[in-house]
Structure 1
Amino acid sequence: MEKLADTLSGKLETLHHLSKDCSIYRVTEPTRCSNPSHFTPQIVSIGPFHHGKEELKPMEEHKQRYLKYFLQRTKVRMARFLSFIKDRETRLRNCYAETIRNLGSDEFVAMVLVDAGFLVEFLLRFHRPRFITDDDRIFRKPQLCYEIWYDFLLVENQLPLFILNDLFHLAKTATYEDAFYENISFVKITCFWLEDRIVKPLDKNSLKIHFPKAEHFLDLILLCLQPSQSRAQIMLKDQNIPSVKELHQAGVKFKPAAGSTKSLLDINFNQGILEIPFFEVYDDTERAYRNLLAFERMHGYKGYFNDYIIMMACLISCPKDAELLVQNEVLVLGITETVPTSYDFQYSGVVTDLQAYRKLPWHKWKAALKQNYFNTPWASISVIAAVILLLLTATQTVSSLIAL
């Protein structure tokens, strides 16, 4: 027993110190099992949790190529970048909620440089297309840009923002051409990528305000999604939240929240009108939302986003609910890979005319009359007969009044 005690004591003495500052977590198995693909990178690994996985290796060459272009613009040598990361290795490792045992110091530092260089170069090219090269397989053909960026929003696929920002700043200190990074900061290119593309609405000023205290991309989004106003906390006695269809039948009107709202979570009801901030749903929206929920829960934040998801899930309980929100211009349904751009969409003129036509009340009334009352010959005859009967009744009433 003494020998066993010594062995166990030795293990206890060698336990790695766990930092209270961790912010990057591995999703628990019960959460992962329900939707494993929502928490696992499909194309690219960022950070240590999925580093080296066989199915993600095809992207490693692209990551290294991006790093190469990033380094070619600066006079700062690779060895300097590696030393810079090495000096911050302990802080970087402490950002992860579990000990990174599978990567030694050199491998860990190299991984951080490759992944950080790749992310910075991606954001640069997204912000300034002139950085895109002819051999770019992410922004040119085959285009992977829109497929890859949701991998950047996974709980397990994060690098701390501080190292990305610091490496970008270090590269800017000595470049071969000052115009390379003119009026560009890492904050600016990050905000440009996140604003109105991943989760809407995300206000640019809010992104800039929260950036200094954000741990990583997911944290930055959640900080920006905090409700803009505090709500009175009352006990919810009846937890049966009515759906949009039920509310519509009760006479509730729906409208997108005023443009001044700063948060997706600002849902308000006043004088029979339910205001919901405009939001778009694409094929990868659920994936992003599940990771935001998982991070919010694991990081110990108050469950503002969780409450929003519960509210919206109850409001939109069937296709008819979604249809009503689309009709009231609160919701847009789309596909990530086929998002129309405002400047080069070939049907922009047709769409503009269709939108203007749809908004005219007369067209809506005429369509409703035709669809509801003249959709079959018998329905048309019934309506005409009813109108004739109404006119005859009115004529008879007028004649009786005149006779008096």
Structure 2
Amino acid sequence: MDYIEEHKSIIINELATSLRKRFKKLHPLSDECCIYRAPQRRCQLNEGLYTSTVFSVGPLHHRREEFKAMEEFKIRYLQYFLQRTKVSMEHFLIFTKDRETRLRNCYAENIKQGSHEFVKMILLDSVFLIEFSLRKSIRDQFNAPLDRIFTKPWMIYDVMVDTLLLENQLPLFILEDLFDLAKIEMHSNIYEGLSMSKLTCDLCKGMGKFLLIEDKLFEEQFPKAQHFVDMIRLCFQPSEEICELKTLVAPTITELQQAGVKFKLGSSNHLFDLRFNDGTLEIPKLTIVDRTKALFRNLHDFEALNSVTNYVNDYIRIMNYLVSGPKDVKVLVQNGIIENLLSDSEDVSTLFQNLQKETGIDSDNFYYSGLIEDLKAYCTSPWHKWKATLKHNYFNTSWASISVIATVVLLILIIIQAVFYCHQQVDSTCTDICFAYISLVLLDC
């Protein structure tokens, strides 16, 4: 009996020691964590939306076979970068090495790369993004025929699209630090008036004019942004209070139109800033292209993994409510709110239907709750419905409007004439005759 108890004690001690060793292997949790892998289930459901096409940066997809060709571009860009500054390669490596712990803390998972490989990778990837941004911003100062990326427009586009993928991010602080270090001692004045903030703004604009983000927004959000995806998220989101959502039902664009709601291109430069005032729904312009789904999916996943806000999630939900079918899309296209570069209107409504499948809704914390309540109240008002019906049936064209106005004027004149005539008569049946006369005229009208 003592032998069994002693044996159990040995086993327990071994198990306890084994578990304690695993404590030391845990990836340290950090407030700077901001780069994640997309949830596996979403990757399986949305194959291709998280996949780079031409290059990768950072450790999550390092050394993948399909990106080997891009490694030569990275080496060349590092060479060009060093030729313009008096700062040595060794200095840049030491500078990056000093930030290794902070860089590793930015990733949600434990990066298994050794220190040397990690530092070399970060320097190459960071300089590639800096050099690409620089050449994109001031292309006329470089020898374009010798740049195998900028002689191929499709490749420029693919690189910019890849920088918006959740798993393909580098912390912005390392880009800014390396750029500022290079500017300390220069062989030329090519960096004069430039900053990593400005280059990032230019690059983000180039990621797709469909984003329609004003320059000042990029400049305002750069100090707060953790990486490129976070930069876009911050530029999109509004800054108003969130209220409780009383119902999950919202009217569609078609239903709103039938109730007399007018649609106007939003004046706000925040994509998510929808407003409803005095019967007019303002929606900022949204250009739909083939990569719009990937953009929103990566933004949504980053928000779900890292952010305390739900703006991306709630925007997808409200747009899915409003745009439930091709008719809704056509109304917004006609009003200049949606620019559809897909094949047809049905593709746009399907896009939001697919996006909302991966979203949730918190009725106590839904950004557009007030908007939905205002829209519903407007739609259920009999007065608004009557005005919309009158306008649709009698004022839908200029000739119809003229006809209705002429009829009303004629009716007023007839009534005045009939009343005047009755006052001139003494016959007791005059009133009946007058009303009969007016009725006949109205029937003729």
* TM-score higher than 0.5: yes
Contact kept? 1:25, 1:97, Cα under 8 Å: yes
Query: Counterpart in 2 of 1:129?
Result: 139
Cross-structure match for 1:382: none
Q: Is 1:28–2:39 an aligned residue pair?
A: yes
The within-5 A match list for 1:97-112 is 97-101=108-112, 103-112=113-122
Identify which of 199, 214, 238 aligns with 1:203.
Answer: 214
Selected match of 1:191 from 177, 195, 201: 201
CA RMSD, 1 decimal: 2.4
Q: Does 1:257 align with 2:275?
A: no
Pairing 1:182–2:192 present: yes
Aligned residues with identical type, % of pairs:
46
CA-to-aligned-CA distance 1:249-269 (integer Å, 9 cap, x gap): 3322211012xx131111111
The answer to whether structure 1 residue 9 and structure 2 residue 20 are counterparts is: yes
| Correspondence 1:246 to 2:255 | yes
Q: TM-score when scaled to structure 2?
A: 0.71
Residues 251 and 272 in structure 1, CA contact (< 8 A), matched pair in contact too: yes
- 8 Å Cα contact 1:125-1:132 kept in structure 2: no
Q: Deviations over 1:78-127 (max 9, x none)?
A: 111111000000000000011101x1111101101111111011111111
Q: CA deviation at 1:248?
A: 2.0
Q: What's the secondary structure of 2:222's corresponding residue?
A: helix
Q: 1:290 aligns with which of 297, 302, 311?
A: 297
> Residue 316 in 1 paired to residue 316 in 2?
no
Counterpart AA for 1:283: D
* Structure 1 SS opposite 2:185: coil
Query: Aligned equivalents of 2:53 and 2:111: distance in 1?
Result: 22
8 A contact 2:160–2:203 mirrored in 1: no
**Paired position in structure 1 for 2:174:** 163
Find the counterpart in structure 2 of residue 377 from structure 1.
none
Residues of 2 paired with 1:91 and 1:124: CA distance?
25
Secondary structure of 1:117's partner?
Answer: helix
Report the secondary structure of 2:168's partner residue: coil
CA distance in 1, matches of 2:211, 2:250: 24
Is 2:269–2:284's contact at 8 Å kept on the other side of the alignment?
A: no
Paired letter, 1:56: F
Structure 1's unaligned 5+ residue stretches are 336-367, 370-396
Counterpart of 2:8 in structure 1 is none
How many Å separate the matches in 2 of 1:40 and 1:72? Answer: 33
Q: TM-score under structure 1 normalisation?
A: 0.78
Q: Contact 1:137–1:143 (CA<8 Å) still a contact in 2?
A: no
- Partner residue, 2:84: 73
What SS is found at the alignment partner of 1:153?
coil
Counterparts of 1:249 and 1:142 in 2: how far apart (Å)?
Answer: 45
Instruction: Report the secondary structure of 1:269's partner residue.
Output: strand
Paired residues, what number? 337
- Shift, 1:246, TM fit: 2.4
CA distance in 2, matches of 1:197, 1:100: 28
Q: Alpha carbons of 1:85 and 1:252: their partners in 2 closer, same or farther (altered >3 Å)?
A: same
Equivalent-residue separation in structure 1 for 2:278 and 2:170 (angstroms)? 46
Whether contact under 8 Å (1:127, 1:193) holds in the other structure is yes
For the 8 Å contact 1:137–1:144, the answer to whether it is kept is: no
- Evaluate the alpha carbon distance shift between residue 16 and residue 304 of structure 1 in structure 2; reply closer, same or farther with a 3 A threshold: closer
Q: Distance in 2 between matches of 1:236 and 1:196?
A: 40
Q: Secondary structure at the match of 1:255?
A: strand
* Offset of residue 196 of structure 1: 7.6
SS of the aligned residue for 1:298 comes to helix
How far the C-alpha of 1:197 sits from its partner, in A, is: 5.0
Secondary structure of the corresponding residue to residue 90 of structure 2: helix
| Residues 227 and 265, structure 1, Cα contact 8 Å, conserved in 2 | yes
Which string of whole-angstrom CA distances, capped at 9 and with x for unpartnered residues, describes residues 265-318 of structure 1? 111112221110112111111111111100111003210121011111221222
Residue 196 to residue 181, structure 1, CA distance change in 2 (3 Å)? closer
